[in-house]
Amino acid sequence: MADQLSVPPVLSGNFAFFFDLDGTLADIKPHPDQVFIPPAVLSRLHQLAQANDGAVALISGRSMKELDSLSHPYQFPLAGVHGAERRDINGKTHIVTLPESLVKQIELELIAALDGLEGTELEAKGMAFALHYRQAMHHEEAIFALAKSLEEKYSELALQPGKCVVELKPRGINKGAALEAFMQEAPFAGKKPVFLGDDLTDEAGFKIINRLDGVSIKVGIGATQAQYRLESVASVHQWLEDMLDQQKQEMALTNRRDGYESLSRSI
């Protein structure tokens, strides 16, 4: 879509909400371990879930273990590692795996290859690998070439570029597929889906959201398939707050109307 996208409306109704984490709910930091979701934002997510039958999920390239840690003390439905890990509203997990021997072989190859690329970092996720180069932007071309060579060597893998990272993950796994899986389950089924994300990894999700006649929201600059845009993480936080304020106002009006009708019947 064109870069000139409007700000999303403050939504009210029968919606299911899906959020990316890094660059969407939390500011990107020099190192992934420095990332956090502000407590006030976590509280708003919890309130949003309560107001929408629990239909709020996090969908990220991070592992579910990391997502749980970052969203503590709350526990949301999750899709980690771009959907290779998924936990539904009832706590049931769905995990896509690769053979252990293959994972170990790929990890050893990556360790050896990255040893000569100072400043890069390998994040092994069990069934996927993230090659970070935020601290070594001059190695971007070499990182892409390495990832591409392994994608060609191992048919089980697919390359996924991101912001200062290239990931190798099981083929067929993406955030769009994770969204589709959630939308077939309670409490998401039957609701209009909303997805916020900032990265190339989120475009597969936007594609599915658009197909389902949902609301797709790109955070930050860049070409996208999303319908709307919020300029920053801070804008996401404000949008969340505005949405909750509107829902509270509507609930108060409903309660007053119900109370008036009850009083009228009694009279």
* Count of domains for the chain: 2
The torsion region of residue 187 among left (phi > 0), alpha (psi -120 to 50) and beta comes to alpha
Catalytically annotated residue among 20, 22, 199, 202? 20
66 and 129, same domain (yes or no):
no
Share above pLDDT 90 across residues of the chain, in percent, rounded to a whole number: 84
91 and 22, same domain (yes or no):
yes
Last residue of a domain, one of 137, 170, 203: 170
Do the domain assignments include residue 119?
Answer: yes
For the question of residue 213 being annotated catalytic, the response is: no
118 and 221, same domain (yes or no):
no
Do the domain assignments include residue 1?
Answer: no
33 and 121, same domain (yes or no):
no
Last residue of a domain, one of 170, 199, 218: 170
Per-residue pLDDT of 21-43, as tens digits, reads 999 999 998 888 899 999 999 99
Give the residue numbers spanning the domain of 119: 100-170
27 and 91, same domain (yes or no):
yes
179 and 218, same domain (yes or no):
yes
233 and 117, same domain (yes or no):
no
* Closest listed residue to residue 80, CA positions, set 130, 46, 149, 132: 130
Per-residue pLDDT of 82-111, as tens digits, reads 999 999 999 999 999 999 999 999 999 999
* Pairing between β-strand 129-132 and β-strand 121-124 as defined by DSSP bridges: antiparallel
* Closest listed residue to residue 77, CA positions, set 45, 97, 43, 54: 54
Last residue of a domain, one of 147, 170, 193: 170
Per-residue pLDDT of 197-254, as tens digits, reads 999 999 999 999 999 999 999 999 999 999 999 999 999 999 999 999 888 887 777 6
238 and 199, same domain (yes or no):
yes
